[in-house]
Structure 1
Amino acid sequence: MKILLVDDDAFALQLLSRQLANLGFVNIVPCLRAQEALVWLESNSAHFGLIFCDLQMPEMDGVEFVRQLVHIGYRGGLALVSGEDERVLQTAERLARAHRLDVLGALHKPVAPQALQEMLARHARRVAGKPDATPRTYTPQQLRQAIDDGQLINHYQPKVAFASGELIGVETLVRWQHPDDGLVEPDQFIGIAEDHGMIDDLTRMVLGAALRQGGAWHAGGLPLQVAVNISMDNLGALDFPDVVERAAAAAGMPLTHLVLEVTESCLMKDPLSPLDILTRLRLKRIGLSIDDFGTGHSSLAQLRDIPFTELKIDRSFVHGASRNAYLQVILEASLGMARQLGMKTVAEGVEESEDWHLLRACGCDVAQGFLVARPMAAAELPGWLREWETRRGELTADAA
């Protein structure tokens, strides 16, 4: 892989070049000026797999350089390096991600060899798992046909207790089993359903299948909590609580083991209309989870006004928290508030053991993420559970 280094500090360039060489990267182009780096990129952008860019440079700073990377259509990886305040570094990282650049992360000067090695290892794992093909697009008519033909299927992502590692539930995540394209991820069709009046039909189909599966698990001696995401359309139908109750009874699924997840952004569209429905759902002993907590604009008002039983912390506050003091402060504050309100806490996006141990030490209740398991078909759950039992002890070794 060809690497471009951009930094006005000659010593820093030399040091980083040597560190990369020690890790086996020898095809390195160092540049003292951002303009010089852009000349290289404009003629050879496809040949650079990775760029390390300093933020604080004369003539053109790192933020301007990022803007130029977008302009020339750079598609490789980007790592930001700086001696600036950590929050400035984080803001620059978020900006680069907002530009849809492939950001590996941010490193502080002087770059620690271990941090560099870990960043490159994460990047290598991520690249290895990326599909080569560009996802295709679908029409509203194709999605309507898929809903009518029963091509949408549920996958389930396990949720485990931090304290013991015990499997306590799953989140339901819909997939499209396309006859030609195979398994299609929801980000390729949920937006279509929302924009073309199909999200209510889709959600009710997902909910019905999840209730039947939950009932089957209960009948088989596996009393899991089943979480299902609901839409704003569902929260506008006054009969929704009764529909859920009837479907759960028919499926043999206890309402006390059903959790409905509602995003902050969904509630913000109409803060009054859902109040009737959500209150009635709680009267039926259905759990309510505020999903993606912290990413909206009125979280505290919603916690005050709506009887949520669970607070689900967005992955943007979870992933990498073990390396980020600011995220740790936010996590501890969120978890402490939830405890005071008597709410269960769920951390989504748990992908690294360091984050697991941090969240466990902070008293978070439930973990969900790739460290535990990826979403899977219901038939795969028993096999995963056997495998999980062999490794959960490593994550809960101090439980006794």
Structure 2
Amino acid sequence: MSAMGSRLLVVDDDLVQRVLISKIGAKLSYDTVVAPSFEAATELLDREAFQTMVLDLSLGERDGVELLRFVAERNLKAMSIVIISGCDDRIMKATRRVANGLKLSVGGCLTKPLDLNRLRSALELPQRSPLAATTASPLLPITPDRIAQGLAAGEFFVEFQPKIALQTGRVIGAEALARWRSADFGMVSPLVFIPIAEEAGLMSELTDCILSSAMSQGRKLIERNPGFTIAVNISGSLMSDLALPERIEEILRRENIPPSALTVEITETIAMADVDRANDILVRLRIKKIGTAIDDFGTGYSSLAALARLPFSELKIDQSFIKGCVSDEDMMKIVDASVALGKAFNMKVVAEGVESPEALEIIRRVGCDVAQGFFFAPSLRRSRAERWISQRNSSANGLIASPAETALAS
């Protein structure tokens, strides 16, 4: 049994590839099962649950796209899929679009011969991503009471995903991502527990817990790296609470963290739901020297209105545009225009979801200030984040990012 309770299915008709991928999976504490054919894979998927699947597109007489359709039909959409192939890059990009159209979770598309560091990073994604599926048993449904017990028991914590300044290559901040390791359920996805907490009115307590954890665990990062900021997402249900700025300020005071070291991230749709209240809250946060970021920019109906009416200090371009800009000219235009808008409003512009050197080159060229994503590093536990950031910032060659960085000097 793996340390994380994670199971990996390797679907490949090449014995050498299966052995190689299985060894990397074992190093990441996966419980690995192999399938040499389409038929063997479908039998396994019908009777067993897997968190991650590595899929070769060429499977003898069958192909990987057929298996993607099978996965979608069985509604196994929480499983992260890493697609590998000897096909050219255009076919790989088209395959990713097929998977996206089926609403599947794609952890990576890797061409052969495999870059082992990129493979390792892709396999780490479901263990560290908010998209990771809950391991909860259906016989033990997650209830508001269980979330409250988890809060009382200290089961919630944060991981940090580094944010890199593109001009210098230094890590200048991190996004703190909520995590729950439950004694009953194992690792539970935020996509599962946050909606339950929202509906039960527990978001105030949960946010206070996550914010306190982010500040206390991030203290060394802030102290060792001048100007370092930690970003924390704020739930939509809290944007009607006019006492929120004072609560945040009290947590910062209690953790002895300067307000300038915190950035509060709010999605544009949430901010525009009640503009007057959002404006009240955001203005007071800015007065207190707390940064405010408009998150997932471009995905809502009111992007321009949010920029014009609300005092954000940072604009985060949604990862769907960043991932698409490499192969889609229209996505490229959206990224370019978003950067220009951010600059026009004197905002720092952050690119989320940077996963390739091509995407990195594009966002640098159009003038993004900061980048985060799996090309640099996944979200990391505190000690690993401290080590990774220290190593990167002490490197004279920090500007040249490499997928090898995500191996993280275990």
Name the TM-score, length of structure 1 as normaliser.
Answer: 0.70
Match of 1:310 in 2: 314
Gaps of 5+ in 1: 5-19, 26-40, 53-62, 106-114
**Higher RCO (CA 8 Å, separation ≥ 6 residues):** 2
Aligned counterparts of 2:162 and 2:346: Cα–Cα separation in 1 = 23
Aligned counterparts of 2:44 and 2:146: Cα–Cα separation in 1 = 38
Indicate how the Cα distance of structure 1 residues 288 and 127 shifts in structure 2: closer, same or farther if over 3 A, else same: closer
For residue 371 of structure 1, give the secondary structure of its aligned residue in structure 2.
coil
Aligned counterparts of 1:222 and 1:90: Cα–Cα separation in 2 = 40
For residue 205 of structure 1, give the secondary structure of its aligned residue in structure 2.
helix
Aligned counterparts of 2:253 and 2:134: Cα–Cα separation in 1 = 43
Question: Which of 324, 329, 332 is equivalent to 1:328?
Answer: 332
Question: Which of 157, 160, 173 is equivalent to 1:153?
Answer: 157
Provide Cα deviations, 1:286-323, integer angstroms capped at 9, x if missing partner: 11100111111111111111011100011111125333
Q: Is the 8 A contact 2:68 2:99 kept in 1?
A: no
Question: Which of 374, 380, 383 is equivalent to 1:376?
Answer: 380
1:273 correspondence with 2:262? no
Deviation at 1:161, TM superposition (A): 0.4
Aligned counterparts of 2:383 and 2:11: Cα–Cα separation in 1 = 43
Q: Is the 8 A contact 2:121 2:374 kept in 1?
A: no
Aligned counterparts of 2:211 and 2:266: Cα–Cα separation in 1 = 13
Indicate how the Cα distance of structure 1 residues 246 and 370 shifts in structure 2: closer, same or farther if over 3 A, else same: same
Match of 1:388 in 2: 392
Q: Is the 8 A contact 1:104 1:119 kept in 2?
A: no
Aligned counterparts of 1:43 and 1:183: Cα–Cα separation in 2 = 28
Query: 2:388 is matched by which residue type in structure 1?
Result: W
Match of 2:136 in 1: 136
Match of 1:8 in 2: none
Aligned counterparts of 2:230 and 2:122: Cα–Cα separation in 1 = 32
Match of 2:213 in 1: 209
1:95 correspondence with 2:122? no
For residue 177 of structure 2, give the secondary structure of its aligned residue in structure 1.
strand
Match of 1:263 in 2: 267
Task: Give the greater-gyration-radius structure (CA).
Answer: 1
Deviation at 1:344, TM superposition (A): 0.2
Provide Cα deviations, 1:67-109, integer angstroms capped at 9, x if missing partner: 8984577998889x9xx9xx9999766432x3x376977xxxx
Provide Cα deviations, 1:132-151, integer angstroms capped at 9, x if missing partner: 99732533222111012221
Match of 2:346 in 1: 342
Match of 2:50 in 1: none
Within-5 A mapping of 1:193-204? 193-204=197-208
Aligned counterparts of 2:311 and 2:99: Cα–Cα separation in 1 = 36
Within-5 A mapping of 1:227-238? 227-238=231-242
For residue 168 of structure 2, give the secondary structure of its aligned residue in structure 1.
coil
Aligned counterparts of 1:66 and 1:282: Cα–Cα separation in 2 = 47
Match of 2:251 in 1: 247
For residue 262 of structure 1, give the secondary structure of its aligned residue in structure 2.
strand
Indicate how the Cα distance of structure 1 residues 273 and 211 shifts in structure 2: closer, same or farther if over 3 A, else same: same
Aligned counterparts of 1:24 and 1:384: Cα–Cα separation in 2 = 29
Aligned counterparts of 1:68 and 1:379: Cα–Cα separation in 2 = 40
Query: 1:256 is matched by which residue type in structure 2?
Result: S
Query: 1:159 is matched by which residue type in structure 2?
Result: K
Indicate how the Cα distance of structure 1 residues 24 and 90 shifts in structure 2: closer, same or farther if over 3 A, else same: closer
Provide Cα deviations, 1:33-78, integer angstroms capped at 9, x if missing partner: xxxxxxxx999955995668xxxxxxxxxx9x99898457799888
Aligned counterparts of 2:379 and 2:392: Cα–Cα separation in 1 = 14
Deviation at 1:228, TM superposition (A): 0.9
Provide Cα deviations, 1:339-396, integer angstroms capped at 9, x if missing partner: 1111101111112222222211221111111222222222333311243247672644
Indicate how the Cα distance of structure 1 residues 135 and 286 shifts in structure 2: closer, same or farther if over 3 A, else same: same
Aligned counterparts of 2:307 and 2:156: Cα–Cα separation in 1 = 33
Q: Is the 8 A contact 1:217 1:223 kept in 2?
A: no
Number of matched pairs: 348
Within-5 A mapping of 1:30-109? 46=43, 70-71=72-73, 94-96=100-102, 98=103, 100=104
For residue 159 of structure 1, give the secondary structure of its aligned residue in structure 2.
strand
Q: Is the 8 A contact 2:136 2:184 kept in 1?
A: no
Q: Is the 8 A contact 2:245 2:281 kept in 1?
A: yes
Aligned counterparts of 1:44 and 1:259: Cα–Cα separation in 2 = 45
Indicate how the Cα distance of structure 1 residues 392 and 357 shifts in structure 2: closer, same or farther if over 3 A, else same: farther
Match of 1:363 in 2: 367
Q: Is the 8 A contact 2:171 2:393 kept in 1?
A: no
Q: Is the 8 A contact 2:157 2:178 kept in 1?
A: yes
